[in-house]
Structure 1
Amino acid sequence: MGFWSTIARLAVRRVDAAECADCPPGLPGQDPAFTTAVTALGAKLAKADGRADAAEFAVFAEVFQPEAGAERDVRRLYNLARQTTQGYESYARRLAKRYRNCPQLLEDVVDGLFHIAAADGVGSPEEFVYLERVSELFGVSPMVFRRIRATHFGLDADDPYVVLGVAPDVSDAELQAARRRLLAETHPDKVRARGLPHEFVEVFTAKAAAINAAFDVAMAERRQFAGQLA
Structure 2
Amino acid sequence: MLIAIIAGALIGASFMGFSGALLGAVVGYWIAQLLAMALRRGNLGQIQSQFLDSTFAVMGALCKADGQVTRDEIRVAEELFTRLRLSDTQKDDARRSFNRGKQADFDLDAEVAKFVQVARGQRALHQMFLQVQIAAIAADGKVSSAEHAALMRVARGLGLSEMEIRQLEAMLGARGAASGDTGGDGMGSRAGVSPEDQLKQAYDVLGVSPEASDAEVKKAYRRQMSQNHPDKLASKGMPESMREMAEQKTREIGAAYERICEARGIN
Q: Shorter chain as normaliser: what TM range?
A: 0.5 to 0.7
Instruction: Determine the C-alpha separation between the residues in 2 that align with 1:114 and 1:61.
Output: 16
The CA distance in 2 between the partners of 1:132 and 1:116, in whole Å, is: 14
Amino acid at match of 1:139: G
Counterpart of 1:102, as a letter, is Q
Deviates more, 1:85-94 or 1:102-111: 85-94
Percent sequence identity is: 19
Say which of 30, 43, 51 aligns to 2:60. 43
Contact kept, 8 Å, 2:171 with 2:205, in 1: the verdict is no
Gap runs ≥5 in structure 1: 1-23, 179-230
- Opposite residue 62 of structure 2, the aligned amino acid is L
- Report the secondary structure of 2:207's partner residue: coil
Instruction: Name the structure 1 match of 2:239.
Output: none
Separation in 2, partners of 1:40, 1:78: 4
Structure 2 counterpart of 1:181: none
What's the CA shift for 1:29?
7.1
- C-alpha change, 1:166 and 1:74, in structure 2 (3 Å) is closer
2:211 maps to a residue whose letter is L
Q: Quick one: distance in 1 between partners of 2:98 and 2:202?
A: 39
- The CA deviation string for residues 142-176 of structure 1, in whole angstroms up to 9 with x for no partner, is 1110121122136xx9xx9976972176346x634
Counterpart-to-counterpart distance in 1, 2:110 and 2:201:
38
* Aligned 8 A contact 1:48 1:130 in 2: yes
CA distance in 2, matches of 1:170, 1:73: 35
Give the Cα–Cα distance (whole angstroms) in 2 for the partners of residues 85 and 116 of structure 1. 22
Partner of 2:165: 145
Check 1:177–1:78 CA distance in 2 against 1; reply closer, same or farther (3 A cut): same
- Rounded to whole Å, the distance in 2 between the matches of 1:55 and 1:85 is 24
CA distance in 2, matches of 1:85, 1:151: 32
Equivalent-residue separation in structure 1 for 2:104 and 2:85 (angstroms):
23
Q: 1:152 to 1:165 in 2, by over 3 A?
A: closer
Which one of 94, 110, 133 corresponds to residue 130 of structure 2?
110
CA distance in 2 between counterparts of 1:50 and 1:58 reads 20
Aligned partners of 2:164 and 2:207 also within 8 Å? no
Offset of 1:107 from its aligned partner? Answer: 0.3
In 1, distance between residues paired with 2:202 and 2:80?
Answer: 32
Partners of 1:85 and 1:113 in 2: how far apart? 20
Of residues 191, 194, 204 in structure 2, which corresponds to 1:167? 204
Which of 95, 100, 117 does residue 75 from structure 1 map onto?
Answer: 95
2:171 and 2:201 in contact (8 A); partners too: no
TM-score by length of 2: 0.48
Q: Give the 5 Å matches for 1:16-27.
A: 25-27=42-44
Aligned residues: 153
